[in-house]
Structure 1
Amino acid sequence: MKNGELRFAVMAAPLLLFMVLAFNLPVLTMLGWSFTNPTPTAQHYLYLLETPVYLRVIGNTMRIAAMTTLGCIILGYPLTYWMRGLSPRGRSICLVLVLLPFWISILIRTYAWIVILGNDGIVNRALLAIGLVDEPLRFIYNELGVLIGTINVLLPFFVLPLYAAFSRFDERCFQAAASLGASRRAIFWRLFLPMSGPAVAASATLVFILSLGFYITPAILGGGNVTMIANMLDDLINSLPNWETAAALSTILMITVLLLYAINQRLRAGDAN
């Protein structure tokens, strides 16, 4: 080993040790708990697969994550496409507005939805005042409330990478299509939409991954009626406690996230090419 390489290795060793202790060791400990009782066993995973309540929670989490992702696509794609056609000043203003939620705590934003959508909230008061409903509608403390909260939190995570991808599109392609007589609708459906496919898929995968680990939003806006994996982990660790089952459930979530991350990286590589 050359002197320069040796010097670099010595300098990097403390950082590497910190990363192993702070990040890798807890993960390895979790994996160890999921396979011990105290002897090596796979019974914790079999217990999860044989217990309907855990399968239902995993299914709820996957469904809510998928619906959140779909909601972000429906709202975020037109918004990003519209932002792309604005003037530089208009795009800057819109980007600031998209980034604005990052300056506010997720907890505060989640409680704000109670003020807006609660039984005595702004929306229900307005509906009652104009006579559209006779009693308050239940917007929160159910799956709808959780979806509204998660979409609100994760929409910027969909819009920002998608906007970055749209900004890299070569305008000459669209100009050439227009010069050959293609209408704006034809340019969008036959050129822009296929080009944006990998970027949309990568952003959607990112949103899906993030929504799998949500805790605060389903705990508050679900009102205890909507349980996701993170909420179940809290019960398994702090209420029961059952650390081995929690470790097995966490391992399943981690493997799912790693697979989705690999898909995300492949899609991002395809988008870059």
Structure 2
Amino acid sequence: MWPLLRTAAISVTDPGPENYLSFFTDPVYLRSLGVTFLTAAIVTVAALLIAYPYAYLMYMSRTAVRGVLTVLVILPFFTSLLVRTYAWTIWLQRTGIINTVLLRVGLIDEPLELVGNTIGVVIGMTHALLPFMVFPIFASMVRIPVNLVPAAQTLGATTRTAFRTIFLPLTMPGIVSGSLMVFVMALGYYVTPALLGSPSNAMLSEFIVNEVEQKLSYGSGAAIGIVLLVVTLAALVVGARLVGFKNFVTGGR
């Protein structure tokens, strides 16, 4: 707790409480706060749209295939985040692999701007945070009795109806806990936005680093950090109340 308390003390003593006043009256900081929230929300939705079908495929697969799918999810953890982010710059730049393939197959007439903007940041952060969405959802799926959906089908429910009314609601604890985990982690991301984004869509984490390293304004950087911490804790409290603290921690297990 000491580093946190020290940071809070610096935020109101270097030079004073006006650090917070500057934050809430400066449109640049407020815009960055909005960009941070919007980016984190988009990353959360993107991760959910990818993770839920993937987790369902893991749930429906045999043990051997499930093991392979699990390894594919956790494999990126064996590589540095910095290396993975630099790899995305190679894939997403105007002369990168994605644009080259799209140009050759004729889907586009000129290279897309996939880096140096929010699109690149969302792609990189979604890739990095995807495991934190997949595993809570998968954990909530494996605790569902295997005969529950077939029982509904024998009583006349279609496959789609059984999924929508039984399977999906029972996986909500995993969805909520995974979404909250990804959202909270995305709020404080720095490396990926710094390398794949641009100053025009800078997140709060980038402002913190700029205040401390470039301007040597430790009080202002500490104040921004405390604001981000309070926002993150508020999101955690709301999420824990929605799904229950135990379900949030365990993903509904």
Whether these two folds match at TM > 0.5 is yes
1:198-256 Cα distance to aligned partner (Å, 9 max, x none): 22011100000110111110111114443111110010001112111111111111112
1:138-191 Cα distance to aligned partner (Å, 9 max, x none): 111111110110111111110012111211112232232122222211110111
Post-superposition offset of 1:43 = 1.9
1:54-88 Cα distance to aligned partner (Å, 9 max, x none): 00111110000000001011111111112211111
- The CA RMSD measured in Å over matched residues stands at 1.7
**Structure whose alpha-carbon radius of gyration is higher:** 1
Question: Structure 1 unaligned runs (5+)?
Answer: 1-23
Within the alignment, does 1:93 sit opposite 2:49 as a pair?
no
Q: Which residue of 1 aligns with 2:52?
A: 77
Contact between 2:139 and 2:252, CA under 8 Å: does it hold in 1? no
Q: Which residue of 1 aligns with 2:5?
A: 28
Q: Which residue of 1 aligns with 2:195?
A: 220
Within the alignment, does 1:131 sit opposite 2:96 as a pair?
no
Post-superposition offset of 1:265 = 3.7
Q: Which residue of 2 aligns with 1:261?
A: 236
1:47-196 matches, within 5 Å, as 47-196=22-171
Letter in structure 1 aligned against 2:41: A
Q: Give 2:214's match in structure 1, choosing from 210, 221, 239.
A: 239
> CA–CA distance in 2 between the matches of 1:224 and 1:138?
15
Contact between 1:236 and 1:246, CA under 8 Å: does it hold in 2? yes
Within the alignment, does 1:249 sit opposite 2:217 as a pair?
no
Contact between 1:206 and 1:264, CA under 8 Å: does it hold in 2? no
Give the direction of change, closer, same or farther, for the CA distance of 1:114–1:272 in structure 2 (3 Å limit): closer
> CA–CA distance in 2 between the matches of 1:100 and 1:110?
15
Post-superposition offset of 1:264 = 4.0
Give the direction of change, closer, same or farther, for the CA distance of 1:110–1:272 in structure 2 (3 Å limit): closer
Aligned residue for 1:233, secondary structure, equals helix
Contact between 2:136 and 2:252, CA under 8 Å: does it hold in 1? no
> CA–CA distance in 2 between the matches of 1:150 and 1:243?
27
Q: How many residues align?
A: 248
Moved more, 168-177 or 157-166: 168-177
> CA–CA distance in 1 between the matches of 2:237 and 2:224?
20
1:10-29 matches, within 5 Å, as 24-29=1-6
TM-score of the pair, normalised by structure 1: 0.85
Identity %: 35
Contact between 1:58 and 1:229, CA under 8 Å: does it hold in 2? yes
Post-superposition offset of 1:272 = 4.0
Moved more, 240-249 or 220-229: 220-229
Post-superposition offset of 1:104 = 1.1
> CA–CA distance in 1 between the matches of 2:171 and 2:63?
21
1:13-40 Cα distance to aligned partner (Å, 9 max, x none): xxxxxxxxxxx111001111122245xx
> CA–CA distance in 2 between the matches of 1:265 and 1:101?
28
> CA–CA distance in 2 between the matches of 1:127 and 1:256?
40
Letter in structure 2 aligned against 1:247: A
Question: Structure 2 unaligned runs (5+)?
Answer: none
Post-superposition offset of 1:259 = 2.2
Q: Which residue of 2 aligns with 1:20?
A: none
Letter in structure 1 aligned against 2:44: T
Post-superposition offset of 1:194 = 1.2
Letter in structure 1 aligned against 2:12: F
Give the direction of change, closer, same or farther, for the CA distance of 1:224–1:43 in structure 2 (3 Å limit): closer
Aligned residue for 1:35, secondary structure, equals helix
